[in-house]
Amino acid sequence: KRIAVLNGPNLNLLGTREPEVYGSQTLADIEDLCREAGAKAGAEITFMQSNHEGDLVDAIHAARGFTGIVINAGAYTHTSVALRDAIAGVSVPTVEVHLSNTHAREEFRHHSYLSPVCRAVILGAGPAGYGYAIDLLAAQAAD
Ligand code: DQA
């Protein structure tokens, strides 16, 4: 099993970025959590972060044939038809994750272009949400 964990813009700043919203864990901590969850679920984890929309499109394409994709697209969630089309185009089961509960925040965060093409959406669970997404994708995959 192979699962790609993709992170969008500004998530490289986690740990110091608005800690009252996103907590104190860094992206490196989240990567460790994902690798542990992957090891337990018997899945190899590919982990990346980019601040560039096209690089995220490329990373989705590179996950063709994988067991699943976990994506926190950051602000591109609320703007990107290109990421939505990429997810729809590769037909790899995808789980959308957000650290914060975007529905409890500003109106412009309530809409996601990605949710309609995702298998599941996990909001507001903090870093643990990534682990839940990996568990879900591994459990739903045929061996
Ligand atoms: C986020 C929520 C987005 O609205 C925001 O733009 C982010 C982080 C989250 O993980 O809660 O960058 O995706």
What pTM, to 2 d.p., does this model score?
Answer: 0.97
**Matching residue, tokens 């490196």:** 28
Q: Of 119, 23, 21, 113, which is closest to residue 70 (Cα–Cα)?
A: 119
**Catalytic annotation, residues:** 22, 98
Q: What is the pLDDT of residues 83-93, one digit of tens each?
A: 999 999 999 99
User: Each residue of 52-89: b (16+ CB within 10 Å) or e?
Assistant: ebeebbebbeebeebbbbbbbbbebbbebeebbebbee
Q: What is the pLDDT of residues 9-48, one digit of tens each?
A: 999 999 998 888 898 999 999 999 999 999 999 999 999 9
What domains can be seen in the chain, in order of their start residue? 2-140 (3.40.50.9100)
Q: Which atom of ligand 1 is nearest to the CA of 72?
A: 13
Whether 102 lines ligand 1, by a CB cut-off of 6 Å, is yes
pLDDT at 143 over 70: no
Q: What is the pLDDT of residue 17?
A: 87
Q: What is the pLDDT of residues 58-79, one digit of tens each?
A: 999 999 999 999 999 999 999 9
Taking a C-beta distance cutoff of 8 angstroms, is the pair 94, 87 a contact? yes
Does this complex have an ipTM over 0.95? Answer: yes
pLDDT at 142 over 80: no
Average pLDDT over residues 118-124: 98
